Chain A
Amino acid sequence: MTTTSENKHILLVEDNPADIDLIRHVFSEQEVAANITVATNGADALKALQGVMTGSRGKSPDLVLLDLNLPGIGGRDLLAMMKKDPIVRRIPVIVLTSSHSSTEANECYSLGANSFITKPEDFHGLQSIIRAIESFWLSTVTMPPSSVRFSGEG
């Protein structure tokens, strides 16, 4: 899979295979080209971000979609770690999880989650959420510029 500088790179942290397939599929239908990297647990997500954290030139995600129900390092702890790192904290994190809990949402926002979205249980619902994320985050929002991400500041 080739990555041009135009393509957005999305890190999907999710362990449910059906959701992974659906999310990949919906992104592939969209007008904005996006490359999806999948981490099925927190440790792998950290590895994917490792290059960003140590400042070495690596492929930094433009956006992270984060499920909270992960094996090993929980989604919330991963979120906290990401938002404490001076460089990684700039990457928008959208929590996309089955939880309907307001307490959970509040905690995630306080930890620095850029958005919290409750995953719909049905196919069409999830499809429409992914389209909305793509439409807002990859088209409307001005994302952090990747060119300055490794400038050594932070």
Chain B
Amino acid sequence: MEAIHILLVEDNPADIDLTKEALRVSKISLDLSVAMDGLQAMAILANTTKKLPDLILLDLNMPVMDGWEVLRELKSNKRYDRIPVVVLTSSEADRDILSSYDLGANCYIAKPVDLRLFEEVVRSIEQFWFTVVKLPTHAAN
């Protein structure tokens, strides 16, 4: 079975490592791409020769192009709008949560500070999105 492709959009190197580590122990075959800002993320999507991501994990506060801008771009483009976007960010502010859902984020998850809880969250994401949900399909590039 083809590996599931995740695009992680995150500017904090420590959080990237944490996420990689949490995903590493997964029983599901995963292929992880990383973008450290929104512009990189859009470039990866535009230039990808492999299939489009099955899921995007998106931080909000990033330099150059932030998560809200990425969301706007993704959800207004027919090529990308069906890709599920999980906003995974440190903010618990109502304003951030509301604007993310407004812009079409599939779900919003406030990142736990506790490492063990964070790992549980990542596992929860995998369990729901890769074993329960029917993911969208994309035409071959």
Q: Which residues of A contact B (CB under 8 A)?
A: 86, 89-90, 92, 100, 102, 105-106, 109-110, 112, 114-118, 129, 132-133, 135-137, 140-145, 147-148, 154
How many angstroms between the C-alpha atoms of A154 and B94 in the bound complex? 14
Q: Let me know if A117 and B132 touch, CB within 8 A.
A: yes
A140→B124 contact, CB < 8 A? yes
Q: Which residue of A lies closest to B105 (CB)?
A: A114
Chain B residue at minimal CB-CB distance from A114: B106
Does A92 contact B101, Cβ atoms closer than 8 Å? yes
The docked-state distance in angstroms from the alpha carbon of A140 to that of B101 is 16
Is the pair B104, A112 in contact by a Cβ cutoff of 8 Å?
Answer: yes
| Contact string against A for B residues 57-87, beta-carbon threshold 8 Å, 1 for contact and 0 otherwise | 0000000000000000001001001111000
Stretch of B8-16, B29-37, B133-141 at the chain-chain interface: B133-141
Closest chain B CB from A151 CB (angstroms)? 9
A115, B102: Cβ atoms closer than 8 Å: no
Number of A-B residue pairs having CB atoms within 8 Å of each other in the complex? 85
- The answer to whether A105 and B134 touch across the interface, beta carbons within 8 angstroms, is yes
B110 in contact (CB, < 8 A): yes
B81 and A110 form a contact (CB under 8 A): yes
Minimum C-beta distance from A114 to chain B (A): 5
The distance in angstroms between the C-alpha atoms of A137 and B132, with both chains bound, is: 12
Whether B127 lies near A132 (C-beta < 8 A) is yes
Of listed B81, B83, B101, B110, residue having the most chain A CB within 10 A: B101
Q: Complex formed: what's the CA distance from A118 to B108 in Å?
A: 22
Q: Is the CB of A136 within 8 A of B124?
A: yes
User: Chain B residues near A86 (CB, 8 Å)?
Assistant: 102
The answer for the CA separation of A112 and B92 in the assembled complex, in Å, is 23
B94 to A145, Cβ gap below 8 A?
Answer: yes
Q: Which residues of B contact A148 (CB under 8 A)?
A: 94, 98
- Nearest 4 CB-CB pairs, A to B? A109-B82, A136-B128, A90-B101, A140-B124
Give Cα distance in the complex from A148 to B99, angstroms. Answer: 11
Contact A142 B137 (CB under 8 A): no
- Which residues of the partner chain A approach B135 to less than 8 Å between Cβ atoms? 105
Q: Which residue of B lies closest to A97 (CB)?
A: B134
Are B132 and A142 closer than 8 Å at their CB atoms? no
Least distance between B34 CB and chain A CB atoms (Å): 22
Contact B98 A142 (CB under 8 A): no
Residues in chain A near residue B106, CB distance under 8 A: 92, 114-115
